[in-house]
Each structure stands twice: as structure tokens, then as C-alpha cells.
Amino acid sequence: MADAESWWSKVPPVQSMPLNSVGAIAKLTKSGLHVKGYAVGGQSGQVSKVEVSIDEGRTWQPTTIIYQDGPWSWTLWEACIRLAIRPDQLHGKVYSRAIDVSGKVQLQDTDWNLRGVCYSAFGEERF
């Protein structure tokens, strides 16, 4: 790790956050899977919507934005996903992706960087 210090000056500083979303809470309820999280817009603008998937990204469902205050604000979102409550649905992963006002969609995977900041792949939360 001592060699890492020589790389700090070679990696550009972060000027803005990338388009990103995070599923912070995923809880099974009687009505389905209740998911809450946040998103941030990148350089291209404010978050226009967030979608969630429980089938590894094959299909996406809309969320409800519950708080947003301008282009640089955090965007808080939530969704209730109806489940058939089969045994295979009692545990799993829910993915989230943000879409900004220009139509840019958060990427499924992104490269890690030396500083470990701004990682912005799909949000992922276990339930």
C-alpha cells in the first residue's frame, strides 16, 4: 500500500458525482417488497426517475420519487413490488437504476478506481 501514495497525484480529482442510485432498505411486508433508496444526478442533470428490478435486470418497475429539491439535491425514492410470495421469492436481490433528465441511464457495472470513489453500478440490496 505504500506505493499507492505515488498514484494519488496521477488520478484526476472528482469534479462531480456520476449518475447513481442506491437501494438502502428492502423489507418484505404483507403487500410485497417495500424498497427505499436514494439517487444522485450526474453532470448531465437531475434524476428524472428511478426503476427497480427483482429479476436481475430483465424487467424494471417504476418507483415513486418522494423528495427532490433541484438538480443538485439528493433524490429519495420508494417502491412497493408485489410478489407472488413463492418460496424462491423470500430471499433475493433488488437492483435500482437512475435515469436523468437527458435520458442517460445508470450503468449496470462500472470500473473501480484507485481512490475507490464514485463507483456507480446498479444499486443492489438483499431481501
Which CATH number describes the domain made up of 17-111+118-126?
2.60.40.650
Give pLDDT tens digits for 38-88: 999 988 779 999 999 999 999 999 999 999 998 778 999 999 998 876 655
Those residues with Cβ within 8 angstroms of residue 48's Cβ, 6 or more apart along the chain or in another chain: 99, 100, 101
Are the C-beta atoms of residues 60 and 52 closer than 8 Å to each other?
A: yes
What is the average pLDDT across 116-121?
76
Above 90 in pLDDT, residue 124? no
Highest mean pLDDT range out of 15-19, 26-30, 61-65? 61-65
DSSP 114: T
Sign of CA dihedral 55, 98, 108, 105: positive
| Residues in contact with 46: Cβ distance below 8 Å, sequence separation at least 6, in sequence order | 68, 70, 71, 73, 75, 100, 101
Spatial CA neighbour of 123 closest among 106, 111, 103, 105: 106
Give 6's DSSP letter: G
Chain centroid to Cα 72, Å, comes to 16
**CA quadruple 121, 92, 36, 84: dihedral, nearest 10:** 130
